[in-house]
Amino acid sequence: MKWEKIGSFAVDSGTFLICDPCYIIEENTEKYTKIIENEFKNRIESSEENTSVNFSKDHTGLAVMGNTLVGDGFFDVYHKVNCKGQKEVKIIFR
């Protein structure tokens, strides 16, 4: 199966974030957005390029945050689904 473009997103911090939207729009919004905000600040201060953002109590999986390596811009997102029904997502930062 071919890669298919599913959209683009804007970056204004040289950083991308991948997470489930329910963690930033539902009942624990303030708690989780504060964790993400703190991790973003820590990443900038430490110059760490990529990191996993944990829930409180160090449970993994709240989000993944990374550096685009090319700064700000609009970046295309592609996906494809293989014959087993597994979806791959690709972002090319250029």
Burial of 68 by CB count in 10 Å (0-12 exposed, 13-18 middle, 19+ buried)?
Answer: middle
Average pLDDT over residues 56-78: 90
Average pLDDT over residues 70-90: 95
pTM, to two decimals: 0.79
Instruction: Please report which confidence band the pLDDT of residue 87 belongs to, taking 50, 70 and 90 as the band edges.
Output: very high
Q: Which residue has the higher pLDDT, 44 or 1?
A: 1
Pairwise CA distance, residues 49 & 47, whole Å: 6
pLDDT of 27 reads 65
pLDDT of 52 reads 87
Q: Which residue has the higher pLDDT, 45 or 25?
A: 25
Instruction: Locate the domains of the chain by residue range.
Output: 4-91
